[in-house]
Amino acid sequence: MKLLYKKEDIEPVNSFYVKRVKEPVLDINWHFHEEYEIIYIIKGSGVRLVGDNISNFQSGELVLVGPNMPHLWRTTKDISSVDRIIIKFGESPNGIDLFDLPEFSNIQALLKNSNTGISFQPDVIQKVHDHFLEIADAAGPQKWIHLLQILTILSNNMDYERLSSPYLSVSTQNMGEVRLSTVISYISENFDKEIPLDEIADIASMTVQSFCRYFKKRTNKTFIQFLNEYRIGKACVLLIENKIPIGQIWSELGFNSSTNFNRVFKRLYGCTPLDFRKKYFKGEENVILAHLE
């Protein structure tokens, strides 16, 4: 399984994408894109991956995935059709900063929290069900009216589940800082090696003490926490790809022992790497491996 960048589906004549699809197969490749994506499963079931979260999906599920969050939906052979509605929209549709308006402050908060992917409760989904059915066939201004009604209802009900752990959630604003961008780039290129604090502080042109304060302020994590979460995030990808024995993964990711790797993994995700892999590949022989065009 590959991680792919997916180009936007929004056509020049539209400011956002809406489509109702009835197909037995969804995605094959873990992918990401720059748009927000809302996926409403009207009927069907299968396996869902959002970041490092793996779960079964079923009829009546509603998930919002933020920009650049890797995700994947797949169905099984015994499912003849999956009826779902997909909505994709950018942060600034057609260059208009619509969601920055003060009247949309709740929607702003909802979209911010979608950076880890969020799943909504049944009572909230019931409130937006009719809007989803109508938006799939709507045209012109009615499409926007239904989208804003959907987002308003969802944003006024904050009882939702955040799906992925936050190792991918460094904000775009912070990533734009040259210093932090340099540090993150260094981590991404050297996470499989030991990275002492004095080494990474030197990369940031700071003292160790100043760097620790700086990094914690901008990521809400210590450097060690961030590095371990980044490594474990990579471990999830390796476990899903199933190309490397679990006993070898810890050394590929820069951990100093399998014991440390297993301890950090279980603390972050509540299960062992072996259980994580078993959960993903449960019933794998029934998964349809076909592209959704």
Residue 8: the pLDDT is 59
Residue 292 lies in a domain: no
Domain boundary among 110, 139, 164: 164
Domain boundary among 147, 164, 181: 164
Mark whether 94 and 196 lie in a shared domain.
Answer: no
pLDDT category of residue 29 using cuts at 50, 70 and 90: low
162: left (phi over 0), alpha (psi -120 to 50) or beta: beta
Residue 144: the pLDDT is 94
pLDDT category of residue 57 using cuts at 50, 70 and 90: confident
Residue 287 lies in a domain: no
Number of domains in the chain: 2
Does residue 55 carry a pLDDT above 80?
Answer: no
Q: Position 32: which residue type?
A: F
For helices 223-241 and 208-219, give the axis angle rounded to 10 degrees: 60
Overall pTM > 0.85: no
- Provide the 3-class DSSP secondary structure of residue 8: coil
Mark whether 158 and 197 lie in a shared domain.
Answer: no
Mark whether 149 and 237 lie in a shared domain.
Answer: no
pLDDT tens digits, one per residue of 168-181: 544 444 444 567 76
pLDDT tens digits, one per residue of 78-90: 566 789 999 999 9
Mean pLDDT, residues 58-73 taken together: 89
% of the chain surpassing 70 pLDDT: 81
% of the chain surpassing 90 pLDDT: 39
CATH of the domain at 72: 2.60.120.280
Strand-pair category, 46-50 with 71-75: antiparallel
Does residue 38 carry a pLDDT above 80?
Answer: yes
φ, ψ for residue 176, nearest 5 deg: -75, -15
The whole-chain average pLDDT of the chain stands at: 81
One-letter-per-residue 3-state SS of 60-101: CEEEEECCCCCEEEEEECCCCCEEEEEEEECCCHHHCCHHHC
**Are the C-beta atoms of 109 and 155 separated by less than 8 Å?**
yes
Residue 37 lies in a domain: yes
Residue 181: the pLDDT is 64
Residue 7: the pLDDT is 59
Mark whether 230 and 99 lie in a shared domain.
Answer: no
Does residue 134 carry a pLDDT above 70?
Answer: yes
pLDDT tens digits, one per residue of 90-128: 988 877 888 888 999 999 999 999 988 999 999 999 999
Spatial CB neighbours of 84, under 8 Å, sequence gap ≥ 6: 20, 21, 26, 39, 40, 41, 42, 44
Domain carrying residue 195: 167-278
Mark whether 187 and 102 lie in a shared domain.
Answer: no
CATH of the domain at 215: 1.10.10.60
Q: Please give the full DSSP string across 23-48, using - where no structure is assigned.
A: ES---SSEEE-SSEEEEEEEE--EEE
Residue 78 lies in a domain: yes
Name the residue with tokens 């037995």. 24
Mark whether 39 and 156 lie in a shared domain.
Answer: yes
Residue 206 lies in a domain: yes
Mark whether 203 and 149 lie in a shared domain.
Answer: no
pLDDT tens digits, one per residue of 195-231: 999 999 999 989 999 999 988 887 778 999 889 888 8
Report the distance separating Cα 137 and Cα 139, nearest Å: 7
Mark whether 171 and 133 lie in a shared domain.
Answer: no
